[in-house]
Amino acid sequence: MTDKDFLKKIGGNITRIRKQRGYTINFVAQKCEIEKSNLIPIEKGRINTTCLTLLKIATALEIDAQEFFK
């Protein structure tokens, strides 16, 4: 698995689960207390985010962070 594919997998999982919840990017960003200018590239797999940012997103999506790696 390449680095790029790995980040795209994580981002894609975040997008998929967010949409399953019916949440918008702005809503999740507010709930996480992160900026959408950070969240959007994470979902796109463009940036190599950190454990704690994943924890914030997972908490906002009411899910375990490990789900993002499946």
From the list a copy of itself, DNA, none, partner contacted by residue 66 (C-beta under 5 to 8 A by kind):
a copy of itself
35 binds DNA (CB under 7 A): yes
Asked whether the beta carbons of 13 and 54 are under 8 A apart, the reply is no
34 binds DNA (CB under 7 A): yes
- The identity of residue 66, as a single letter, is Q
47 binds DNA (CB under 7 A): yes
Q: Which is nearer to a copy of itself, 24 or 62 (CB)?
A: 62
Asked whether the beta carbons of 38 and 53 are under 8 A apart, the reply is yes
- Min. distance of Cβ 64 from a copy of itself in angstroms? 7
Q: Rounded distance, CA 63 to CA 18, Å?
A: 10
Q: Rounded distance, CA 70 to CA 68, Å?
A: 6
Which residues of the chain form contacts with DNA (CB under 7 A)?
Answer: 24-26, 33-38, 40-44, 47-50, 52-53
